[in-house]
Amino acid sequence: MTHSGNPFGQVLVALITPMTADGEVDWPAVEKHIDGVITGGADGIVVTGTTGETSTLTDAEKLKLVEVGKSVSAGRAKIITGGGSNETAHAIELYKASEKAGADGIMIVTPYYNKPTQAGILTHFRLVADATDLPVILYDIPGRTGVPIKYETILRLAKHPNILAVKDAKGDFSEVSRVLNQTDLLYFSGDDANVLPHLSIGAAGLIGVTANITSAPYRVIVDAVNRGDLHTATAAHKKLEPLVRAVMTHVPGTVSAKYILHGLGRISSPRVRLPLVGPEEWEAALIEDELALVKDVDGADFSNFRPDRNAAAGGALPKVHGTTR
């Protein structure tokens, strides 16, 4: 199921962090959800990433998510810790602790808010990668961080022995091709709508939000691409399109994924932590309209979908604040 030389897997889920109605982590639901996506076909789980609400999780919660992930996966899927920090010193300590907690790899996001130069980005990634023996995925998402990892910087980072991959949410396919030609880096699609296009030009896999709803179609797409069956991959891609649109278009992916999973009865609450809030009435209506178009998608049966807009409304203030530095 995994490419030779790929220590991360191919179908990676950017895992939501299920929470109770008062915004505390729902640990039994975390265990159930991880088991479900692995059973559906995921061979990698990214905990504490953007979709996992990393910026409002405490460090203790982040480390426990790694530990729970390792326990539930029981070797069936790799557990990658995401997130990081825009403070290099904190990122180093967090990833060191994640390694001790059992993480199989780390995904380092570009420092956000600070808007460092490319020299600063280069130094940040190198120092974090130096601090761990785990394989590293660089997370290039300028829409959230404010700065891209430029092509020249990626080439320099590719020389680091621990930096093995990039999660691309930049959408510059010509740059992806250039990097794949010039380096041995693995690429993971970080945009659910572009999974098949990324795979078609040589990406190793995906790190997806919609895979929280169902990972099975992504397993179909990846396995089809692996054997050169573009027809099967394209058919699965087309069927997934309205579900991807429902999850990724109208509100942040975390919010919509929780709203949908709760409506399917798979998590106890759709609650997110502030400043995220549940969908407003008109946003919920748009999500539901998209879901009505989902047909014949394995693992996504909406015949008994029961959304609860009231339960999703607003956001939670947890008892202990997160560590955002």
Tell me if residue 167 is catalytic: yes
pLDDT of residue 83: 84
Q: Which residue is catalytic, options 64, 78, 167, 258? A: 167
Full set of structural domains in the chain with CATH: 11-230 (3.20.20.70)
- Where is average pLDDT lowest: 68-77, 79-88, 240-249, 286-295? 79-88
The structure's pTM equals 0.96
Q: Is 51 annotated as a binding residue?
A: yes
**Could you say which of 95, 112, 139, 259 is catalytic?**
139
d(CA 9, CA 107): 13
Contacts of 229 (CB under 8 A, 6+ apart): none
Q: Give the whole-angstrom CA distance, residue 193 versus residue 299.
A: 18
Tell me the helix, strand and coil percentages in the chain, rounded to 5: 45, 10, 40
How high is the pLDDT of residue 259? Answer: 98
- C-beta separation of 322 from 56 below 8 A: yes
Distance CA 73, CA 39 (A): 10
The number of residues in the chain equals 325
Is 139 an active-site residue? yes
Could you tell me the two tokens for 57? Answer: 């999780």
The rounded distance, in Å, linking the Cα atoms of 291 and 245 is 9
| pLDDT tens by residue, 181-239 | 999 999 999 999 999 999 999 999 999 999 999 999 999 999 999 999 999 999 999 99
Q: What is the pLDDT of residues 48-94, one digit of tens each?
A: 999 999 999 999 999 999 999 999 999 999 999 998 899 999 999 99
Position 2 scores a pLDDT of: 40
